[in-house]
Amino acid sequence: MTTPDMRSPSALLAHMRHTLDFYAPRGIDPSGGCFHFFKDDGQVYDQRTRHLVSSTRFVFNHALAWRWFGEPIEPVAHALAFVREAHAQPQGGYAWQIDWHEGRATLMDGTQHCYGLAFVLLAHAHAAEAGVPGAGEGVADTFALMERRFWQPADGLYADEASPDWQLSPYRGQNANMHACEAMLAAHASTGEWRYLDRALMLADAITRRQAEKAGGLIWEHYHADWTPDWDYNRHDRTNIFRPWGFQTGHLTEWAKLLLQLERRMGHAAPAWLCPTAQSLFDAAMRHGWDAQHGGLVYGFAPDGTVCDGDKYFWVQAESLAAAAWLAVRTGESAYWAWYDRLWAYAWAHFVDHAHGAWYRILSPANQKITDEKSPAGKTDYHTMGACQDVLSALGVLPGRATPHSTP
């Protein structure tokens, strides 16, 4: 199967459109929000369960459709209203999971997650950019809530989890802080307020340098309350998709991308360590994560460098190709374009559903489909369409422009 020239803005936009068409219009629930569970052919197999991560990511998806394809803001507002109304809890914060039936929400899991709030912030930022009323105020309010409930000044990082009445768990994790960094970049893009870049830099420095020093220069996922690595957390549990054991190949590359986005956004004020750190993380991910036999990047590897989860996940490939493009543009090194092309060729052959649209979620180490559930809660193809948008941004392409500022 021939892969299109995915360095071409028109090819990236066409792929974004093809993926969006999988979810629209079937994904919108007129009674509130969006459906979260889709089979390969687009059939909705659970109309009631709603997860905060999907609810917020659908705001992002609709904002992307507004930004690049001129679609109306009403779907963005519809998705954001569901987050603000159906997920909102009387004691503050947002429900992790609810049952939505006949226009009413029943609480299923009221645990408060900083990871979830990071996506609430991201959703408000993208909705604000689209002009949804009240979204700008939501950016400030969500940031204030994260500061009040999860920020740990002595650590320079956010705590991870709290009970419904805001009692903090001792668990600490890098994933919530990584997505908080992403959300801060989006908040700055929508508001222009420098405080969000200050916080993004603080998070990036703490995780990719200070914490990485405790793990051989890489980024461990799980920590004790004092931010010492918890090397055994979820070691024998592969079911927790938000807290997997091992070094996560996709998180190394996702951080590489975020560091370069932060560097560009900060301009002359950016510290010199951002790009070299991004290169180091990406290079390590390719060195340990690329499957030389079957192609693609594995999910995770152990501290000794051996593969601990050889399954292939859609988001790992998507984040990695976006990071490769940013590194290629930033450094001018052809090796990163080679990785970009290699990752796209692999994804195009194995992950992209050319018949129905969107990407398959997970494949076996030998690239066989494991499930016919293309998009369960949490997916929404936010990673895949976001990666296309990130590559366009790396190339200097703005919405409404047919050509990039510079060609690779």
Could you list the active site residues?
A: 251, 383
14 phi, psi to nearest 5 deg = -65, -40
Output the six-digit token pair for 63.
Answer: 């904002």
DSSP per position, 37-102: EEETTS-EEESSEEEHHHHHHHHHHHHHHHHHH---SHHHHHHHHHHHHTSB-TTSSB-SEEEEET
Contacts made by residues 195-202, CB under 8 angstroms, sequence distance 24+: 196/143, 197/262, 197/265, 197/266, 200/258, 200/262, 201/262, 201/266, 201/271, 202/156
Query: Nearest CA to 87 among 117, 122, 63?
Result: 117
Burial of 368 (0-12, 13-18, 19+ CB in 10 A): exposed
Return the DSSP state at 372: S
Nearest-angstrom CA–CA distance, 158 and 161:
9
Nearest-angstrom CA–CA distance, 313 and 359:
10
Return the DSSP state at 201: H
Nearest-angstrom CA–CA distance, 339 and 334:
9
Pairing of strands 49-51, 44-46: unpaired
Burial of 263 (0-12, 13-18, 19+ CB in 10 A): buried
143 and 87 in contact (C-beta within 8 Å)? no
377 and 49 in contact (C-beta within 8 Å)? yes
Output the six-digit token pair for 284.
Answer: 């390590």
Sorted by sequence, the CB contacts under 8 Å of residue 336 that are 6+ apart come out as 282, 324, 325, 327, 328
